[in-house]
Structure formats: C-alpha cells, structure tokens
Structure 1
C-alpha cells in the first residue's frame, strides 16, 4: 500500500511514522508512507495557501490550487486513489471503515488547518470525509495519524500474529474479552482457572461469554446492531439476569 499525506506541518508525522508498528510495516515493505507539504505547490509568490472567505466570517479558508496540484502530481502515474479529507463534518470513523480502506492500494490524506476548505476541494477531489469523533482539533494531522495507524496494522504480515487484528474489539462487532498473562497469582489476584485448563473449547466459550458481557455492560448499543446467534442470545439473557439488567 502507498499512503500520501498532504500537510502544512509534515514534521508532526516524524515520530509516529518512525516508531512501533508503522516503522516495522515500512521495513517489511507492507506500506510506503510519504508526507508532502502542500505549501510547496502554491503558485502564490508568498506561498500562501489560505485566504479570506467570500461573504465574510471568522477565520481563513484553504484555497483549492495548492491541494489540487499536489493531488494531481501524486496521481500522475497511478490509478485514481481514495482521497480522504479529515474533517469534523465527515462520517464518524469505525473499524469497518478501517477494514474497507485497508483493502486499497493507494490512499491520500488531506490535513487542513484554519477555518475550513474551499468547497471545490470536497466536491472534485475527495472520495471520503472522515471524522474521528464529535469534537474539533486544530488540524487534520492527528486524525490522519489515527486513521493511518488503524489501517496499516490490518495489512498482511504487519502484526506479529495475523489473527490479532481479527480478534480486536469492534472487528467482531463485540468488545474484546479480558486477557491475562503470568504470574497466575499476582498479589492474591488470580487468573480464571479455565484459561489454564488447556481445554480450548471451554476457553473459547469463556471468551465468548466475557466478550458479550463486556459489550453488554459497556456498549449495549453495539449489541442492538448485531445479529446474534441463538447461542449468543441465550448468553445475553443469562448475563442480563446475572447482572440484574432489563
């Protein structure tokens, strides 16, 4: 996968792209990460990339020319990529969207600053508008980092265990079950015996129930959207009774 990021502050990405999973993904040639300062594409003699909005109002608006030219340069020799605009007005980001983007060969992220974007950028260049939450950040850089991290970790062979991403919270529609490691007894706090039993069927049943329990107690809205199996429905009913929930 190739990922290009258009930003006025490319150095913000140095630490994130140079550490941990994103660094390893690049070393494995699973992804090519490239950050472009779109100010370099400005034809304005002062390299300005923003201007006052028509009709008046607070703040400055990003002009279309530098971003249009940057995207066109990045797509000269490639088929049209997904172009993602980080924006508070965009669709709320989900694991399902991460999985969808992870199937692409080329992604371009546009990180804005100031009051907003010239509308022609949205209308003509952008394929996806994404918001990572119902709040406003100074710019799109942090949102882009979040989305890129969540996408790259899904690429083949990026994680040490290819089953890890499949079992993540939200990937299955449920929150993930609890995890334990050594020691089995830490300050009197012990690991559930079933996890040390070696009985894989019982372990899987325990994990399924704990996953349903955690989702029921923390995110019941997720259960409402799921199409549960008959077995899962029985477990949910049992959990509601155990936890005195209606």
Structure 2
C-alpha cells in the first residue's frame, strides 16, 4: 500500500501566527496519518499536559489546536510552557511541524486598513480563523470549515458594525474559467453559511480571484491545498 503524508485542511492541522508583520502557517504532518489521527493525538497530549501542570494553569488545546504554534511575544510564561509541552508531546508521537510563509495574504494586516478595522482584522486572523479550505474541485464545507465559520459568526455578532468581504480562491488545477467558477462557488457557500447563522447580507460582499492570488508560491500538494480557500476579510467601510 502506498503511504501518504496527511496534510492539514482547516484548524486541525493548520496553525497560524503573525510575526514581524508577516503571516506564517505551520503544517503538521505524519507519515500515513489522517486528520482523525491528529485529533486523537492532540486529545492524548492534552491529557498528558493536564497531568503535568497545576489545574489552575491548565487549559485544553484539543478544541483549538492551532494555538499550539502561535507566536505571540505577549503570552505568559505559563502559556509558553503549556505550548512547549504540547509540542514536545506531539513530536514524540511522530508529528512534525513545517513553517510555510504565506505571500498572497501577508499584507492584509498592514495595508488598506487602519484603526479599529486593522485591530479587528488582526483578531479575526489570529484568534478566530479567517479562512476555510476545500478539497480539489469542491465548494463543500467540511466540518472543520463549519467550526471556523461558527467562530466567525460569533465574532461578527460581537462587532455588529463590522463588514466583511469573502474572497474565493482556487489553486491552478484547471482552466481559468473553471478556477473562477469554483472560486465563486466557494465565496458564495461561505456567504450563505454566514447568512444562515444570522449575519445580515448587507454586511457581506464577495470577491472572486480564481488562481490569480495564490496563498503561497510553488506547485506542491501542500501549496495547492492552501490555495483552495475562502478568506473572510474585514472591510474598511
């Protein structure tokens, strides 16, 4: 049987951070493993960490595993220790984490937005999750994607005056016409999901990019996965 490397598709295996005004992502991988294997190992490491620290200092990672590798200079020593323990546990179980610098969306934190809008954009990207990923040629929302969108709904209800643009993107697998079509479908399915959860349609616009705005350069399987996405961006007006 041919072995495969599991690549992350949403928060389960994709970790985000913002450092030095650039956005980087961490790809968790393990030979022959699946997303279910990743979740199981996260839960096991969660339990091990809970036994290694005082109860008052512990908080679970399993519900939001992408925070394990977030880079934030303002985190406490306790938080830093928790993350370090989780990383060591995952590494011991055979997982590796590879940083991948994103180019296509990296400037959103520092260009076009200011003041409150820039603060909301940063919170959306780091603490909520601003993007969902899709299978090749698909605009179907996976359960992991729905979980991210549910957090976006809570975020948007917390800031009722904010407006967003849902950007539809595709990898370069297909004709330009096909890429624009699937990008439009991805943006619209996200918009419909948010509206179905109570976000007013007047707050949501869409933009379609096809394969013209890649999330990351190159032609690997990992890069293609990152480019099949819909990104929720804060609008300045």
If the length of structure 2 is used for normalisation, what is the TM-score?
0.23
Structure index of larger Rg: 1
Higher helix fraction: Structure 1 or Structure 2?
Answer: 2
